[in-house]
């Protein structure tokens, strides 16, 4: 799909400097631009590339004044970075604007499907499923019985949605994610054998949630495991049964949250964080990567380490952690001196 400079400028409310009929069909970094590509310049350290890039169109800030001749057609906007982000979103929307039904697929007779949906090959849709308008299910998706998927949500290839799960509007669930599998609940018997505890709850994902590839969200034992509005989950995250994650919280890859923990809104949780079960983490908490959280955390705290404590205190303590061998040697020397002094008395 091709776009002209004038069409792009109209979308971004920008000004064209050069040929308004210049066409582009792809996006590129400014240092890798080639004919037919669109790029942008927002960081001053990349300015030299504007004079050497072979891109056909470049988006620049309104304040940019070329010091010498530039080859690309320029589109001047108030904020080049923000404008390019807007363009990326538009490009992605156009690229993913699939509709129709590929073959083979299986759709239960009791399922209700909205308008303008896309069903890729080998999609399975169970009984009493309700799928709203403009939903896209890429190949090999599984949607279990009694699932609800609201308007504009996208399930990429290989997503598995177990029964009773509810997914809100305009969510993105990436390849290999599993929503609604049984939580890790087992009861030991007197002879040491573990029996599975039935997991009768479900998973509720609210509007505007992004879930990364191969992330798993377990169903609740009773009630719901809830992912609130605007939450962003990276790849390879484990969310256990009955967990609640508050609005607009973001969690990086390889983090695990154990059962029944409640995480507040607007939290930022780094990668490879381990959070124990039945905890309460307040709003606005920041958890740095590789942290082990074993106790409740008050709102707006910043924590680090394993076990976790205040990040500033951890950084100050780390200065001494590195010197522990020296401290041990010094203490041993002091003990020898003390013994020697006692022997003289």
pLDDT, tens digit, 9 for 90 and up, residues 138-191: 999 999 999 999 999 999 999 999 999 999 999 999 999 999 999 999 999 889
Q: Which fold has domain 3-95?
A: 3.40.1390
Give catalytic residue positions.
241
Domain 100-313 has CATH 2.160.10.10: yes
pLDDT, tens digit, 9 for 90 and up, residues 1-37: 789 999 999 999 999 999 999 999 999 999 999 999 9
Contact status, residue 169 vs residue 135, Cβ threshold 8 Å: no
Domain boundaries, the chain: 3-95, 100-313
Residue 318 in this model has a pLDDT that exceeds 80: no
Q: How far is residue 240's CA from residue 184's CA, in Å, rounded to a whole number?
A: 7
Angstrom distances, CA of residue 191 to CA of 185, 197, 284, 301: 18, 17, 45, 44
pLDDT, tens digit, 9 for 90 and up, residues 258-312: 999 999 999 999 999 999 999 999 999 999 999 999 999 999 999 998 877 787 8
Burial 257-275, CB ≥16 within 10 A → b, else e: bbbbbbbbbbbebbbebbb
Q: Where is average pLDDT lowest: 161-170, 237-246, 315-324?
A: 315-324
pLDDT, tens digit, 9 for 90 and up, residues 56-109: 999 999 999 999 999 999 999 999 999 999 988 888 888 778 899 999 999 999
Contact status, residue 217 vs residue 195, Cβ threshold 8 Å: no
């Amino acid at each position: 799909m091709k776009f002209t400079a004038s069409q792009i400028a109209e979308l971004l409310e920008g000004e064209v400097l050069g040929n308004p009929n210049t066409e582009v069909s792809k996006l590129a970094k400014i240092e890798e631009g080639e004919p037919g590509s669109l790029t942008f310049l927002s960081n001053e350290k990349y300015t030299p590339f504007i004079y050497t890039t072979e891109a056909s169109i470049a988006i620049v800030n309104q304040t940019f004044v070329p010091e010498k001749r530039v080859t690309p057609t320029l589109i001047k906007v108030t904020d080049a970075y923000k404008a390019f982000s807007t363009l990326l979103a538009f490009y992605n929307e156009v690229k993913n604007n699939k509709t129709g039904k590929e073959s083979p697929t299986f759709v239960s007779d009791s399922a209700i499907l909205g308008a303008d949906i896309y069903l890729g090959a080998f999609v399975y849709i169970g009984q009493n499923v309700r799928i709203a308008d403009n939903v896209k299910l890429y190949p090999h998706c599984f949607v279990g019985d009694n699932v609800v998927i609201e308007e504009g949500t996208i399930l990429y290839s290989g997503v598995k949605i177990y029964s009773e799960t509810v997914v809100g509007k305009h969510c993105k669930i990436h390849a290999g994610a599993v929503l609604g599998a049984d939580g890790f609940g087992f009861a030991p018997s007197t002879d040491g054998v573990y029996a599975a505890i039935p997991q009768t709850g479900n998973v509720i994902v609210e509007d505007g949630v992004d879930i990364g590839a191969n992330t798993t969200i377990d169903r609740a034992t009773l009630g719901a495991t809830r992912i609130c509005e605007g939450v962003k989950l990276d790849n390879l995250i484990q969310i256990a049964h009955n967990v609640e994650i508050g609005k607009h919280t973001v969690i990086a890859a390889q983090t695990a949250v154990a059962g029944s923990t409640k995480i507040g809104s607007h939290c930022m949780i780094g990668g490879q964080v381990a959070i124990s079960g039945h905890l309460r983490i307040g709003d606005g908490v920041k958890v740095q990567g590789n942290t082990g959280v074993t106790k409740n955390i008050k709102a707006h705290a910043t924590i680090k380490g394993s076990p976790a404590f205040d990040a500033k205190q951890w950084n100050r303590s780390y200065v001494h952690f590195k010197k522990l061998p020296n401290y041990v040697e010094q203490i041993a020397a002091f003990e020898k001196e003390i013994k020697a002094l006692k022997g003289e008395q």
